[in-house]
Structure 1
C-alpha cells in the first residue's frame, strides 16, 4: 500500500481502483474489523469480519472487497 502512515490511532493509505487512486483513512481492529473512510467519495464502510485464526486473510479480504467491489460500485453509482 502506497502513502501509508499512522497517527492518533488512525491509519492512512490509498486504494487503487480502475487506475485511480483514492486516499483512505482507516482503523484496523482485531480479526479483520475495519472502519474505512474514503473522503473523496464521501464514503464510510464498516467491516465486522472476525477471524482470529487467520488475521492476514481477514485484513487482505477487507482490502480486496473495498478495491474490487465496494468502491467501484460506488463510483459507477455516482457517475449515473
Structure 2
C-alpha cells in the first residue's frame, strides 16, 4: 500500500516510475497517449513547487500506510478515518 501511495503525486506529474500497471494506464499501455481526465487540460501537471507541496501533504499517509492495510471491522475503519482527518 505504501508503494501505491508514493506513486500518486509523481503520476499526476507524468512520472510513472512508481506506478503499478493495475492503477496506471500508462504502465498498461505506454505507447498510447495518456490522458489525465481529472486534471486541468487533461494533461500532466508541471509546477515543481506544487509537486513538492503535494509530496509533503501525502507524507503522513505514506508513512502510516501500514495502519490502513488490515481494516477489518468498522471500529478499525473509523479509527483510520480519524487518523487521516487529523493531518
Provide TM-score, normalisation by structure 1.
Answer: 0.30
Q: Which has the higher helix share?
A: 2
Q: Which has the higher strand share?
A: 1
Which has the higher Rg, Structure 1 or Structure 2? 2
Provide TM-score, normalisation by structure 2.
Answer: 0.28
Q: Of the two structures, which has the highest relative contact order with CA contacts closer than 8 Å and spacing of 6 or more?
A: 2
